Structures are given as C-alpha cells and as structure tokens.
Chain A
Amino acid sequence: MTTVALPSTAEAVQAIVAPLSPGELAWRRFRKHRMAMAGLVTLVLLSLYVSLGGPLLSQGYCTPIGRTVRGEAWANCNDTSLKLQPPSAQHVFGTDVIGRDIFARTIYGGQISLLIGGAAALMAVIVGTLAGVVAAYYGGWVDSLLMRFTEAMLNIPTLFLLIVTAKFFGGRLPSVNFFGRELTGSVLVIILIIGGTSWMYLARLVRANVLSLREMDYVLAAQALGVSNTRIIFAHLLPNTLAPIIVSTTLGVANAILSEAYVSFLGLGVQPPTASWGNMLESSYKYLETAPWLWFFPGTLVLLTVLSVNFVGDGLRDAFDPHSSRHL
C-alpha cells in the first residue's frame, strides 16, 4: 500500500486561494501557446549549437597551416584545394568558395548573428524606451524635439539608412574582445547601426503608452509626494509599459538578424573572415545553382531563428495581454 502524502490544509488552501502573480499568469498563458513553446525550444537548441558547437565540434586538420586546429581557427582555415566541395563526412555542410568548412562557419557565424540580433535589439530597446518615456513624461518642447527627430528618422527608408551608415562607418572601429572571442570592429559597427536605426517604432509605442499612464492617479500621487522624476519614470511608468517593450524587443531581435543578413549580403556588414550567416549568404550568391549547400545551411539557420523568435514574440504578446482571448 502506498501512503499518499496529502498537503496540509493550510497549504492546500493557500494553493487554491493565493492569486497568481502577473508573471505567473503570463507564463501560464505562454506555455499554452504551442508555437511559442516550439520557438523557444528551437531557440534554446540554436543557442546550444552556436555556443557548445564551437568547442566541441569545430576542429579538423588544416592543410595550409599543417596541423590540426580547433575552434574559430578551423572555421577560418581555407584549404583552397578543397573549395566548393559538397557535403561529405569530412565537411558535413560542405566547403565554401575558398575551401572553408561551412559547418564550423555556421557555428561561429551564428554566434555573431545571434550576438548582433540580441545586442542590436537591446540597444534599440534602451534608446527607444528612453526616448519614448522621456518625451511622453516631460511633454512640451522635449516631446516635440524628440518626436520630430523620431519622425525624421522614420522618414528615411531604414534599408537606405543602414547601407549608408554601414558604408560610412565600415572599418572605423577597433576589434573588441567578447567572451574571449576577438570580434572585428565591423561587428560592433553593425550592432550600433542596426540598433541606431530600429528604435523609432518602439519610441512611439512607449510614448503613447506613457502618455496615458502619466495621467493615472498613482503617478499624480507620487508627484504630490515629491518623488523624483527619475524614480517615477523607472519605478512607476516603465514597469507598467513592460509588455509592449518585451514584445517589441523579441521582434526586434528577429529584425536585427535579418538586417544583418541584408547588410552583410550587400558586402557592407560583418567583414570576412569573421563569419556571419548574412555574409555567408553573400558569397554564395554566384553559386545559387551549382553549389546550393553554400546558401542552404546559413539560410535555413536564419530562417529557423527568425521564425522561432517571431513565434516567441507572438506568444509573449498573447501572454502579456490582459485582454487575451486565451484563457487558462
């Protein structure tokens, strides 16, 4: 016979009665969103691929150097006598136009693409949120100034802005060390450029939200109590507008990864030999038909990532939406 350990009455009552926090509610709704969960799992797998794939799987004998190399050195080892080899046991994803292992390059390119996606989205969120909340909270000439600037930025086609800034700033920044990996200045430039050209919608979104929030009684109360503006902004206004910010951030990650692919595809983005999924696509352009493995693997990875991020963003939007039609 088994004894079933019953919860004590007090615990049971608490479990039933205790209301779910907004976070718990959101997580419950999110979990019910199947595509979002699938996206999240895919993202986790992709992160594992690009983070653990490097130390575990990226190694091989580099003929031009004359020894076995590991890590990024393997991704950059160009044995030109092996150029444009189709996938094989040695090179599971094949080799590129100068004989580098595409498998290793998708791993290291993925690090760059995901880093750019994350960092650029983060930058856009910080700039956009600050611009929006400051404009809405202070109003008056601050609002006019910030919003006219935002509109001016919006009026310039983003792609054009990206290309021009990429051309202008290309190669002007020094290399940086990021988690022990030396990144060329071009990565930093691309992050700044994409972040700097994608914050405008969020700024407007946040401003609209805060415009209604700042009329709330609790804000008036805080002001009456003499709470500083900074504290009102960060403690009262921002937490209440977190939902649109989080959703827009996730979507921003997807957009940033795509923007990086555009810009690198045009040859203005991350400079080889540093790989990114975007610049891997660029060099495959001439071999669309003759060497499909050049674009298939990086292309599929971009597709998977962007799709997953979008699903997760969708799930988050539903989860944070109090009026969501999805019930628990």
Chain B
Amino acid sequence: MIALVACAGPPPPPTDSPPSPSATFPAVHPTTFPTALPTPTEGPRTFTIGLASAPGTLDPANAVDQAALLITRHLYEGLTAYEPGATRPIPALAEAWEASADGLIWTFHLRPNVRFSDGAPLTAQAAARNFDRWLSREPSGAYTFWRLMFGGFAGEADEDGAPLSLVAKVETPDDRTLVLALNRPEASLPSTLAMPSFALVNPAAFADGNFGAPTANSAGAGPFSLYSWTSENIIHLVRNPNYWGVPPQPDELVFKVIPDDTQRLLALQVGEIEGVSHLNPKDYAADGQHDTRVEFDPPLNVLYLGFNQAHAPWNILDCRLAVAYALDKGRYVQAFFPGDAQAALAMQPPSVWGYAAPPADRSRDLARAAEHWEACRAAVEFFPKSATLYVPPIPRSYLPDPAGLGLAIQNDISTTLGLDVLVAAPDWQTAWLPDVHAGRADLFLLGWTGVNGDPDSFLCPLFCGAEGAFNSDELGQPLPPDAELAQLLLSARAVTDPAEREALYAQAHARIFDLVPAIPLAHRQTAWAFRANVNGNVPSPIENVFLRLTLEP
C-alpha cells in the first residue's frame, strides 16, 4: 500500500454500511448486523446537508474532494462496505468472499438480483468492467485513489520490472463470481474495496464520456440515485427504487454548497439545512445553542513525534524513552486543539480495528525521563550538541497549531533533558517533506491518516521502511525502524483470516510500544453539527452516511 506520509491527503472517504436484509454471510466475516430497523413511515422526508465546496465530479473513481466522496457514497456501493460506525469490511454487493491460502486469489460472490438504479442487472461481467476501467484508465481520468491504493495501472512496472498494480487479472467464471488475481498478497483488499472510490457503476453509464458531470446518469447500486445537480450546486438525491438493502430513512437527501463558514453555520441555525461538515472550531462553542448539536466522528488519524534512528543518539532506546517521558500529551491535547482531540496511546486510533491498548500510558514522568536520559548519555560516545525537530510550517488536519505544539515540545525536551532542540519549519512541499523523507530530521512532528480503515494503512506505511524518515542506511536508503516489526507487518498483509491478523497487529502494537520508534501524541476528530431534532447520525471514523437520519417530531 502506498501512501503519502502525512499528506493529510484524502479526507476519510465516506462510505456506508448498508443494512443487509440478506442472511448470507461469508464464514470468515462474522459481522453484527442491525436486526430491527425502523420502517420508513409515510411522507417525503428531506434532509439537507451543507457543504463547504462543490464536488468536482460525481464519478466515484475520480472523486477526490470530500464533497464528492460524501455524495458518491450515497449513490454507489462497492463489493464491500464498512461496518456502521467502524472500519471492518462487511458484505455489500458481494455477499461473501474468500481468499486463497497464499492471499493472491480473491473470489467475490456477488449478491443475486441486484440492479443498478437505471434497472440494469449487476453481473460479474459488469463488475469486471469496472476493474478493467480502473486498470486501463479508460475513459481517461486521474484515478487518484486507484493509484494510491492499488499501486498503479495495467502495464506499469517499477525499475525491477515488477508490475505496479496490485491487481494482476480479473476473471468472471460465472455471472455471480468475480475473481481477482493479485500480484502480491494484500489482506486489506476488502477494506480498500469498501472505499467509495471503488464503488461499482453500471458500465453503460461510464461508457458515456460525460459520466460524473451534473447532467449524466448516476446508475449506481447505492441507496440513492441522482435526481438533479443544479447550476447553484444543489445536489438532490432521491431513494433508489432498485436498492437491494433496507431502504434508507430519508426519502430525499439534498447537498447544498455554502462556501462561507459563517453563512453555512447560520443556515444551520435558522434550519435551512440539517447538518454541516467542516465546522469551524470556534463554532464548537455554539454547541447546544440555536437548536444545534455538535457530533464528533471518531478519529482516523494519529499525530506523532517520530525519531530518526539513523541519527545518534536516537538509535538508543533509552534516549527515545527519555523523550517519551518528557512529553506531556494530556496538556498538549488541551492546549493546542480546540477541544476535538484525544491523547493517543498507540500509533492507530482505537476506533480502527486491530487497536491494542498498550500496557501503560507513557506520559510525563520526570524521574523516569531523567533515569533513561542518564542511561542514554552513558550509551553514546559522541553525544550530539543538539537535535533538529521538524515541525510542520502550516496547520494540518491532525494538527491545527503546529507552531505552538512545536514550541511546547522543544521547551519540554530542552528543560527536562537539557538537550538543545532546534525547531525547523521550512516550506512544506519543497523542503519539509523531502527533508523528513530523506532522513535529514532528528525528530519530526507529523501525522498520518489511514485511508482505508485497515490497521495496515496506519502501521505499514510508517514502519515497513518505505520512507527514510525513521531510519536509513549509510547510503541514505530507507530502512524500517525495526526489521522484525517490518517483517511482522508485511507478513500480516499475507494473512487473510481477520482474527489471525488482529493477533498480529496486537503483537505489532506491543513491539511499537516497547521500541518507541515514534511517540503517539493525539488523534483529532472531525466535527459535524446537526439540528437538535435530527437523530440517527452514525458517527464513523471513515465515512459519513445519512441512511438512518430521522426527525424528532
């Protein structure tokens, strides 16, 4: 899995977790399903959601902005979906799947009698046409998320001639079976396929070159279908009559673009819209006033302080431990976040499966810091005079006040350990990221968003040795901070049994806790505000779906 370190890149993609009336479940995926669902009552109920910006396209494969991902989530569905409020993959258009022992052959059994919103039936061939489209980039497009999650496109190879694309071949043995042959094992495939970017579309729709534009046919298999997308950027969705699952509660969903933060909040306060995203932190204070309520989605990111073990003395465990005991997460979270973050204990948020609570919370403990620092000084012959701490020069989604936090960390390390810390905050794109990735920092303050909700997407991009931020050899080639940890994480990619994977990630977390390649600091949440009489929002770390919204009388 390739990912851009901390490029706060794509916002957590919204996907949904459709309630499944079908009783067919894959044996390997025991999942809890909502059993009793309220049946929709009569009268059209419309919910209007305020957006900060207009979607760039409604083509799910080419949607990159948060608005587009949110809307396409409601129009389309993929082979898998996310469990409501969590990130485990559950069956959606595929009612079951299994992987071969080596993790290279994945067989998806499609749900019978599913139709797209335009009436065309979902067949394995139609699904395969979607994969062909992503692989071949035809019709042309950026296919950003495919490149990010699947490595590349058909025919592309790296310097050694190994194909870049994760998917080698797509086969359809029969109408209801789709077989994906992979170039390398990737156990998080079902999670990735639940991302809204990999939702299935009726091939007839994307054959039309206009697909994704306001006037085009939506033709998805999601709970809603596109009714209109006006020039004022009001996007109107109505229930999809052909939807295979439990019909959504709202009859209609309207997405309204109000770019100005204040206007958008005002629209919520007067009841013109029922919910807004991208809430300005200063507006959290208005929580509870004007009949509104703020809800936080569980976090899908981690802010951490990383150590570059290629630079002395950070290769010594005691030195890293001393810093861990010198920092005061609890206070940082209070002081440098507008009340929307929690102190992090591990390198992934607890809201993502695979989380294993560490045996202890390492927070400020001056006696221990001093003790480890003494051991650290004793272990290093030529102790460096100072350490360079890279602090992002601009706010990131997981770090609203980098300068303040950088100063506090510098102050805490300097005063507790007596080590000079130089803060570096050069230009983000041209200097900061290249420097940190090339291993020029000693310490760095950075965050990570795990796009597909799989623990692998948090741990492996950081600790499998893809970037030189944590460690590198004499020639500057990236190394993992710990070879055994990298081995563990890579082997977890080849294990397809979720329970077995979970055990491996528990081991990985324990090893990360022991070795401290990085100190987890905080997880930041996303805030939504709703009218007080709107119920049924399911806060989820990875997606926002409004299938269960109801109005209190």
Q: Which B residues touch A272, using CB under 8 A?
A: 407, 410-411, 414, 423
Q: Which of A96-104, A117-125, A242-250 contacts B (4 or more CB under 8 A)?
A: A96-104
A175 touches B414 (CB 8 A): no
Interface, chain B (partner A; CB < 8 A): 328, 331-332, 334-336, 364, 366, 385-386, 388, 403-404, 407-408, 410-412, 414-415, 418, 420-423, 425
Is A303 located at the chain interface by the 8 A CB criterion? no
**Smallest Cβ distance from B480 to chain A, in angstroms?**
28
Query: A64-B331, A80-B335, A186-B420 known; 15 other A-B pairs, CB under 8 Å?
Result: A64-B328, A76-B414, A78-B415, A83-B404, A97-B404, A97-B407, A171-B388, A172-B385, A184-B386, A267-B423, A271-B410, A272-B414, A273-B411, A283-B403, A286-B403
Q: Which of B331, B386, B388, B410 contacts A81 (CB 8 A)?
A: B331
- A86 on the B face (CB < 8 A): no
Q: Name the A residues within 8 Å of B415 (CB-CB).
A: 73, 76-78, 273
- Which residues of chain A are near B332, meaning CB under 8 Å? 80
Give Cα distance in the complex from A97 to B409, angstroms: 12
B385 in contact with A98 (CB, 8 Å): no
| A185 touching B386, Cβ below 8 Å | yes
Contacts of A182 in B (CB 8 A): 418
Could you list some 20 contacts between A and B, CB below 8 A?
Answer: A64-B364, A73-B415, A76-B411, A79-B331, A80-B332, A80-B335, A80-B336, A80-B408, A97-B403, A98-B407, A171-B386, A171-B420, A171-B422, A174-B385, A185-B385, A185-B386, A186-B420, A271-B410, A272-B407, A272-B414
Interface residues of A in 137-196 (CB under 8 A from B): 170-175, 182, 184-186
Are A185 and B420 interface neighbours, CB within 8 A?
A: yes
Residue of A nearest to B408 (CB): A98
A164 CB, min distance to chain B CBs, angstroms: 15
A65 interfacial contact with B, CB 8 Å = yes
CA distance A100 to B407 in the complex (A): 11
**B412 close to A78 (CB less than 8 A):** yes
Contact with B along A59-101 (1 / 0, CB 8 A): 0000011000000010011111101000000000000011110
Q: How far is the CB of A235 from chain B (nearest CB, A)?
A: 42
A175–B420 touching, CB < 8 Å: yes
CA distance A171 to B423 in the complex (A): 10
Contact of B385 among A76, A171, A267 (CB under 8 A): A171
A98-138 vs B: 1/0 string, CB under 8 Å? 11100000000000000000000000000000000000000
- Contact present for B420 and A99 (CB under 8 Å): no
Which one of B408, B423, B425 lies within 8 Å of A78 (CB-CB)? B408
* A81 close to B411 (CB less than 8 A): no
Query: Smallest CB-CB separation from A78: which chain B residue?
Result: B411
| Residues from chain B with Cβ under 8 Å of A273 in the complex | 410-411, 414-415
Cα distance A64–B366 in the bound complex, in angstroms: 10
Size range of the chain A interface in the assembly: 20 to 34
Residues in chain A near residue B411, CB distance under 8 A: 76, 78, 98, 100, 272-273
Contact B385 A173 (CB under 8 A): yes
CB neighbours of B331 from chain A (8 A): 64, 79-81
List residues of chain B with CB within 8 A of the CB of A98: 335, 404, 407-408, 411
- Tell me if A267 and B410 are in contact (CB < 8 A): no
Query: A229 to B421, alpha carbons, bound, how many Å?
Result: 48
By beta carbon, the residue of chain B nearest A75 is: B415
Contacts of B420 in A (CB 8 A): 171, 175, 184-186, 271
Determine the distance from Cα of A266 to Cα of B416 in the docked complex, in whole angstroms.
Answer: 26
Find chain B residues with CB under 8 A from A174 CB: 385
**In this complex, what residue of A is CB-closest to B385?**
A174
Residues of A within 8 A of B335 (CB): 80-81, 83, 98-99
Residues in chain B near residue A172, CB distance under 8 A: 385
Q: How far is the CB of A308 from chain B (nearest CB, A)?
A: 31
B5 CB to nearest A CB, Å: 24
Chain B residue at minimum C-beta to C-beta distance from A66: B366
* Chain A contacts for B408, CB-based, 8 A: 78, 80, 98
In the complex, what distance in Å separates the CA atom of A315 from the CA atom of B206?
A: 84
Expressed in whole angstroms, the Cα–Cα distance for A324 and B74 within the complex equals 87
Which A9-43 residues have a C-beta within 8 angstroms of B?
A: none
- State which residues 252-271 of A face B: CB under 8 Å: 267, 271
Closest 10 CB pairs of A and B: A80-B335, A98-B408, A273-B411, A80-B331, A171-B422, A171-B386, A76-B415, A273-B414, A78-B411, A184-B420
| Given contacts A64-B364, A83-B335, A170 and B414 within 8 Å (CB-CB) | no
Chain B residues within 8 Å of A267, by CB:
423, 425
Most buried by B among A98, A100, A271, A283: A98
Within the complex, the shortest CB–CB distance from A133 to chain B, in Å, comes to 36
Residues of B within 8 A of A185 (CB): 385-386, 420
Query: What is the distance, in angstroms, from B343's C-beta to the closest C-beta of chain A?
Result: 13
Cβ-defined contact, B407 with A175, below 8 A: no
B393 to chain A, nearest CB (A): 10
**CB closest residue in chain A, given B336:** A80
